[in-house]
Amino acid sequence: MTTLRFLEIQRSGVRCLLAGILLLGGAAFAGTDSMICNVSVPSSHAELAEGDQNSSTHLQLSRPMAAGAEVDLDLCSGDLTLSASKNGQLNVTVNLGQSSSQHLAGDYLELLDISPHKAIVHLHLPKSVQAKVIVEIPVTVPDVEVNLARGELTLAANQVGGQRQINVGYGQVRVQGNDDTYESMEINVGLGSLHDHRSGGENHHFIVAHSFAGSGKGKLEINVGMGHVDVYPSQGQPI
């Protein structure tokens, strides 16, 4: 490795680590001043529609999206799975491991804004509720950006296409996809590791800035402040 390449990796790692620290504090959630992850419940929450399911431990909703609209998703904490929608709509399911006698699961849905150009979802989920979230994205979506402050994120890259940017402050990212699921994949870890479990894959540790060339379409960018990234071959169902 040349000195120049080593310095480039160091700079990428420092930038990613600093971004991760901002995510942990909620500072990277720019949509609303109240999206700060060190408070338990947002001061306001999105209005639900008829047919949505909402209980102390469960939230489920579906919304139609215009073809070509983007998805912008922010979460404070939880285990998040991103996969393809089977009904052509944006589907969001939240299951809480710890319920509250004072709040419903829908109280943590701070923002739900569906426009012809973009769907914005802010889930203000504190670590204490032990949330598991599944977001199913229509195949017509060309651009997906996800910010997760703390937790585990699983991306079925063989199901969710287009331009994909995944930012995690602290935690683990599991990517499922062969090289035909992206044109290029860039993985940056400020402090942690990258494990490529595909045939011929390599492992990288400490400060990671690694790029992959693929035969598919769309760029996949993964940034983790502190934690791990694991890349697996494509499968029928998310890992």
Domain residue spans of the chain = 3-232
Check residue 184 and give its pLDDT.
Answer: 98
Higher-pLDDT residue of 35, 157: 157
Determine the average pLDDT of the residues in 198-220. 94
Confidence of residue 3 (pLDDT cuts 50, 70, 90): very low
State the average pLDDT for the chain: 88
Instruction: Compute the C-alpha angle 160/164/167, nearest 5°.
Output: 120
Check residue 40 and give its pLDDT.
Answer: 78
Each residue's pLDDT tens digit, 104-125 = 999 999 999 999 999 999 999 9
Check residue 25 and give its pLDDT.
Answer: 53
Check residue 12 and give its pLDDT.
Answer: 52
Q: What is the pTM of this model?
A: 0.87
Each residue's pLDDT tens digit, 40-82 = 788 889 999 999 999 999 999 999 999 999 999 999 999 999 9
Determine the average pLDDT of the residues in 17-30. 51
